[in-house]
Amino acid sequence: MIPNVLITGSNRGLGLEWCRQYAKAGWRVFASCRFPEQADALQQLAAEYGTVVMHRLDVTEPDQINALAGALAEYPIDLLINNAGVYYEKYDRPGQPIDYAAWTHTFRVNTMGAMRVSQALLPHIRRSQKRLIAVITSHMGSIAEIERPGSYYYRSSKAALNAAMKGFSLELGALEIGVLLLHPGWVRTRMGGPDGLLSPQESIEGMRARVEAFTLADSGRFFRYDGTEIPW
Ligand code: NDP
């Protein structure tokens, strides 16, 4: 039986590269995104690999999450990758008025979205071989690494994600389900911008190696793509 991976935010950036690499490695890829009908690059990948299946998923929409869990009822999910994220960088700056609606939305996607999807897919993950939830967080969620003002919505959403997922890893330990927190590095995507230090390919290769090497002793720990550990 080939392993199954479910990825959120698969239409571009790191999500698309996760899909590409796992498809190439022979996995069945459930590639979810908000608007499959507009996801040209993902459609091309699905045309190339019969093992890439597209699904609609906005991680802030409980009905869509439940519908996806139902549609995948017969499949074990070896690996769930909570990748979808938002960063309102232009508005999230020191000295600017706080946009509380944008801050709330950032939490709904980055923090609660990852938890909602993980909870809904637990039965599928539980009956798989690998039983792993990967959480794409950021070193910007590390309070220890804050050295300048700004990015309040993004940093707090990722710090909260880290706290929630660390606790969740303790809950899931009894079920032998792992939770791995990963920082992708600074990557050239729409979010990372053109000056990022890594290509999506390099970042995902690094994070895939962390997923490959994962044992339950790593559950609830926070690693960079290169395997170094990040302080909370
Ligand atoms: P991009 O901005 O390129 O892609 C973000 C993805 O998230 C898109 O597919 C987007 O879909 C999706 N998304 C946004 N909102 C939702 C939602 N409500 N439901 C489902 N999907 C949604 O970012 P990256 O690929 O760079 O980032 C991927 C992850 O890596 C994020 O969690 C980010 O925080 C993290 N990260 C990235 C870094 C970098 O340097 N690039 C550094 C540290 C962390 P749509 O096109 O429909 O908006």
Q: What CATH number is given to the structural domain containing 67?
A: 3.40.50.720
Enclosing H/E stretch for 47:
helix 40-48
Total of domains in the chain = 1
The alpha carbon of 85 and the centre of ligand 1 are apart by a number of angstroms equal to: 4
Do the domain assignments include residue 231?
Answer: no
Do the domain assignments include residue 232?
Answer: no
Q: Is the pLDDT of residue 52 over 90?
A: yes
Cβ-contact 17, 32 below 8 angstroms: no
Helix axes 152-173, 114-126, angle to 10 degrees: 20
Cβ density class 79-110: b for 16+ within 10 Å, e for less: bbbbbbbbbeeeebeeeeeeeeeebebbbbbb
Q: Which residues partner with 58 through β-bridges?
A: none
> Residue 19: its pLDDT value, please?
98
The alpha carbon of 88 and the centre of ligand 1 are apart by a number of angstroms equal to: 11
Cβ-contact 60, 109 below 8 angstroms: yes
Beta carbons within 10 angstroms of residue 148's beta carbon: 6
Helix spans in 79-222 (H):
100-106, 114-126, 152-173, 200-213
Cβ-contact 32, 6 below 8 angstroms: yes
Report field, pTM of the whole predicted structure over 0.80: yes
Cβ-contact 135, 182 below 8 angstroms: yes
Going by C-alpha positions, the residue among 154, 147, 189 that lies closest to residue 13 is 189
The range of the structural domain enclosing residue 130 comes to 4-224
Do the domain assignments include residue 230?
Answer: no
ipTM of predicted complex: 0.99
> Does residue 128's CB lie within 6 angstroms of at least one atom of ligand 1?
no
> Residue 46: its pLDDT value, please?
98
State pLDDT tens for residues 78-121. Answer: 999 999 999 999 889 999 999 999 999 999 999 999 999 999 99
Do the domain assignments include residue 204?
Answer: yes
Do the domain assignments include residue 173?
Answer: yes
Report the pLDDT averaged over residues 32-52: 98
Query: Taken in order 203, 214, 58, 143, is the CA torsion positive or negative?
Result: negative
- Residue 1's pLDDT band, with cuts at 50, 70 and 90, is confident
Round to whole Å and give the CA distance between 128 and 22: 17
> Does residue 13's CB lie within 6 angstroms of at least one atom of ligand 1?
yes
Cβ-contact 188, 199 below 8 angstroms: yes
The alpha carbon of 154 and the centre of ligand 1 are apart by a number of angstroms equal to: 12
Best residue among 8, 10, 12, 190 to mutate for probing ligand 1, ranked by most atoms within 8 Å of CB:
12
What length does the chain have?
A: 232
> Does residue 12's CB lie within 6 angstroms of at least one atom of ligand 1?
yes
> Does residue 196's CB lie within 6 angstroms of at least one atom of ligand 1?
yes
Cβ-contact 146, 230 below 8 angstroms: no
